[in-house]
Amino acid sequence: MAIEESGYDGLAKSLHWLVFILLAVQFAVAWTMPDIGRDTKPETLINLHLSFGILIMAVVIFRLLARVLRPVPLVTANLPPWQRWIAHATHHLLYVVLLILPVLGWVTASLRGWTVTPFGLFTLPKLIPAGTLLGYGAGPIGDWHGDLSYVLLGLVGLHVAAAFYHLIVMRDQVMQRMLPRRPPNL
């Protein structure tokens, strides 16, 4: 299957929007689940949050593999160097954060002694034995997980703002490359 010069193929578009939807659900679950303290048990919302985190990580890994195997040329030739740098940096940081966040959540769950069973389908191994990490417990790792989620929100905001900047100000079809194709008029 040939890749369009001017846009992403259906797989890339589907994975992009799937990650967006999963992140929207994940943040909604995260903001509604109870505060996690020393004696918190992983009830329904916490288990759902862990499950969506693992699912997001799996989809992002698949998306990265698909991107390596089916690259699309970036449309940055007409951009000033500083905009090219920001575009590349933002995309790379999005991938890095989307991979680190679930791992930090998984480590936190492991340190708390929780079992991570995505959607009740299978059980993941503990990444670190419960209660370890130099006697600090899960606190710092959990804090990093929470703090990094706000970094992710900022990166997503920057990504969305740039897409609308290209649509409204530059009018250069960059945003349309990731939108579904319109069917031809019959």
183 within some domain: no
**CATH number of the domain enclosing 141:** 1.20.950
Predicted local distance difference test score (pLDDT) of residue 42: 86
The amino acid sitting at 32 is T
Contact 58, 99 (CB under 8 A): no
Per residue in 17-75, pLDDT (tens digit) is 999 999 999 999 999 998 887 788 888 999 999 999 999 999 999 999 998 998 876 66
User: DSSP code of 6?
Assistant: S
Q: Which residues of 152-185 are buried (b: 16+ CB within 10 A; e: fewer)?
A: beebbebeeebbeebeeeeeeebbebeeeeeeee
Residue 181 lies in a domain: no
In a domain, residue 157? The reply is yes
Considering the entire predicted model, what is its pTM? Answer: 0.86
Domain count, the chain: 1
- Domain assignment present for residue 185? The answer is no
Asked, for residue 2, whether it belongs to a domain, the answer is: no
| Domain assignment of residue 186, yes or no | no
- Tens digits of residue pLDDT in 72-128: 766 666 778 888 888 889 999 999 999 999 999 999 999 888 999 999 999 999 998
In a domain, 34, yes or no: yes
Assigned domain for 16 exists: yes
Domain that holds residue 44: 10-172
